[in-house]
Chains A and B, each alone.
Chain A
Amino acid sequence: MSTIPAAGPQAPSSPIRSRRKIDGVRIASFIALIVTTFLMLLPLFFMVSTSLKSKKELLKFPPSFLPESWQWSNYKEIFETLNFGQMYMNSLIIGVLTVVGTLLSSALAAYGFARYRGKGNNLWFMLMLSTMMLPYPAIMIPQFILFSKLNWLDTFLPLVVPAFFGSAYNIFLLRQFFSTLPEELFDAGRIDGCSELRMWRQIALPLSGPALATVAIFAFIYSWNDLLTPVLYLSSSDKFTLPVGMSSFTSSRFRIPPWHLLMVASVLAMLPIVTLFAIAQKRFVEGIVLTGIK
């Protein structure tokens, strides 16, 4: 089977058109999809509806699908109960800085790996790939000691600075993309007297929009959801990120957890990620169209 070239031009579609009969497998699939989608979406539906219920209604069983009275004030309450606005802001700042750092450093390193056949290229690249498997808990203790010696405890620096030194998965992703850029573009640039850094900035980066967008999203989501690192480093509550602050809802501080606030927080925490995907989906489609033309 491996002798058939897979990357070759698509074979012309078979002259035998599939008969238009009712297909049992496809109907079964459709029903299976409806059932699983329903089950997958049910928690999300209740997340939103519970976030709008009154305190009395929260404790009713079975839970009602829609709130009896819509308590939009729950969304105000969370900003009063928890330092929610501040935490949201902290998470956003850390997220944006992480994205900037990851994009810059990963794009530089990926370009180095993709474009230059220097001595040791393969060796460093393999080493870089192997760090993808490095579990963070395996290095967090010495990192913690290092950052505490630098007096970085209770600052955003331990959460942000490492991003400016590249992350393996993103370097790998971008390197694969940069490798597909046609050599002629760079030859032309060289003839025009472009410096290497300018070719990176003005040829490689502008052509890599979709890949860069993907990396940006990965980096943001990772930073936005990370709990372990901020739990280690942030101790004063005005520096807490969203996950750190939200995790206090399940602590023994509350005899009965404020269920409506848990859900409000979850809905609000999900918002930036959903927005990002909604925007980026277009970018991905653009990317496919672009590479299709080439």
Chain B
Amino acid sequence: MTHRESRRQTLYMYLFISPWLIGFLVFALYPILSSLYYSFTDYDIIHPPKFVGLANYTEMLHNDLFWKSVVVTVRYTFISVPVQLLLALGFALLLNQKIPFRGFFRTAMYFPSMVSGVAMSLLWYWIFNPSIGLFNYVLSWFGIKGPAWLMSPDYALYALMIMSFWTAGSGMILFLAGLQGVPASLVEAAKLDGAGRFRIFLNVTLPMISPVLLFQLIMGIIDSFQVFTQAYVMTQGGPNYSTWFYVYNLYTSAFKEYRAGYSSALAWVLLIVVMLFTALIMKFSNRFVHYEGGGRK
């Protein structure tokens, strides 16, 4: 590439990416840095911020609601993300065979994912109603007397987990796309070598779709650290703080109590935890994720 050509390329690249670049500086970088600054201040949004050093961070350590929100969010994440992934992968494997009505099954499983957001929360608010809802009715078919779900401090979080399984269809679509990318020649070769279904799955299919699995695991964890809608619509964090999610806590302290400084500290802790988790998974994943076209060894 000549010098002139390379300058031309650089110029056009910056021209084209400039919308994103400006957006990045104004709507991402500036907010991140200023929230770092706010996190060291006492700030009510109206009066100018007052520098307080690490006070917000030390307060966090002694704040019961903070710890409650951490426990709730971690418990939710550690159950709902893996189960959702397993369900999605299971559905995808079932549907990746020559089976009658495949198209219908695929659409039916994906359909619930279109009802996400507040609409889904309202629907499940009814489903979990202990006196008239669907869930305890279905349980009664099996002779089980269901609990009070959203109204019970012991069961509210489980109710939200169960609701999250309902949208496993969106992950299923990604797994199906991944499975369709597994070359038939590999599977055939394994079959000729006498491998059974389980061996083929473990040694051919799973390594081939491991990048999809990794992507979904990371995005799933990041999403689940940010649960807000369910808590806001269905439980308002209750009963007895049993669904007091991290972001709900952050929202309340920022926009109900107007503690922008303390909330910014919460925001930074969230940011660091998300980055750490992502880095950790990426590092660990080198051992078991297989990337197309070599790269390993």
B288 on the interface (CB 8 Å rule)? no
Secondary structure at the A interface, as helix, strand, loop or mixed, is: helix
Is B197 in contact with A135, judged by CB distance below 8 angstroms? no
Is B19 in contact with A166, judged by CB distance below 8 angstroms? yes
**CA–CA, A179 to B84, complex, Å?**
33
Contacts A/B (CB < 8 Å), 29 sampled: A1-B207, A3-B294, A4-B186, A4-B189, A7-B292, A14-B188, A26-B99, A33-B95, A41-B108, A43-B134, A43-B166, A46-B134, A109-B19, A109-B20, A115-B12, A119-B6, A124-B21, A135-B222, A137-B270, A138-B267, A141-B254, A144-B255, A145-B34, A246-B119, A250-B122, A250-B125, A262-B122, A270-B119, A277-B114
- Given contacts A112-B13, A141-B264, A263-B123, list 18 more A-B pairs with CB under 8 A: A1-B203, A1-B207, A33-B99, A37-B109, A109-B20, A115-B13, A116-B13, A135-B226, A139-B31, A142-B38, A143-B31, A144-B255, A225-B117, A231-B232, A232-B255, A250-B122, A250-B125, A257-B126
Nearest CB of B to A111, in Å: 5
Nearest CB of B to A77, in Å: 16
Set of chain B residues within 8 Å of A120, measured between Cβ atoms: 10, 13
Q: Which of A63, A104, A118, A134 contacts B13 (CB 8 A)?
A: A118
A162 on the interface (CB 8 Å rule)? yes
Question: B229: nearest residue on chain A (CB-CB)?
Answer: A227
A59 on the interface (CB 8 Å rule)? yes
The contact string, 1 if C-beta is below 8 Å from chain B, for chain A 99-129, is 0000011101101110111111100100110
Set of chain A residues within 8 Å of B140, measured between Cβ atoms: 62
Set of chain A residues within 8 Å of B54, measured between Cβ atoms: none
A79 on the interface (CB 8 Å rule)? no
Question: B122: nearest residue on chain A (CB-CB)?
Answer: A262
Question: B34: nearest residue on chain A (CB-CB)?
Answer: A142
Chain B contact-residue range equals 35 or more
Question: B204: nearest residue on chain A (CB-CB)?
Answer: A1
Nearest CB of B to A117, in Å: 5
B217 on the interface (CB 8 Å rule)? no
**CA–CA, A146 to B1, complex, Å?**
43
Set of chain B residues within 8 Å of A113, measured between Cβ atoms: 13, 16-17
Is A135 in contact with B118, judged by CB distance below 8 angstroms? no
Is A44 in contact with B131, judged by CB distance below 8 angstroms? no
Nearest CB of A to B170, in Å: 10
Is A139 in contact with B267, judged by CB distance below 8 angstroms? yes
A75 on the interface (CB 8 Å rule)? no
**CA–CA, A257 to B105, complex, Å?**
34
Is B232 in contact with A227, judged by CB distance below 8 angstroms? yes
A71 on the interface (CB 8 Å rule)? no
Q: Which residues of A contact B (CB under 8 A)?
A: 1-4, 6-7, 10-11, 13-14, 25-26, 29-30, 32-33, 36-37, 40-44, 46-47, 50, 58-63, 104-106, 108-109, 111-113, 115-121, 124, 127-128, 131, 133-146, 148, 162, 164-166, 171, 196, 200, 221, 224-228, 231-232, 242-243, 246-247, 249-250, 257, 259, 262-263, 265-266, 269-270, 273-274, 277
Is B267 in contact with A137, judged by CB distance below 8 angstroms? yes
**Nearest 9 A/B pairs, CB to CB:** A165-B23, A112-B16, A225-B117, A118-B13, A118-B10, A166-B20, A11-B185, A116-B13, A139-B31
**CA–CA, A144 to B260, complex, Å?**
10
Binds A, one of B59-67, B74-82, B153-161, B271-279: B271-279
Set of chain B residues within 8 Å of A26, measured between Cβ atoms: 97-99
B169 on the interface (CB 8 Å rule)? yes
Nearest CB of A to B40, in Å: 14
Most chain B beta-carbon neighbours within 10 Å: one of A1, A7, A242, A257 = A1
Is A145 in contact with B184, judged by CB distance below 8 angstroms? no
Question: B49: nearest residue on chain A (CB-CB)?
Answer: A145
Set of chain A residues within 8 Å of B297, measured between Cβ atoms: 2
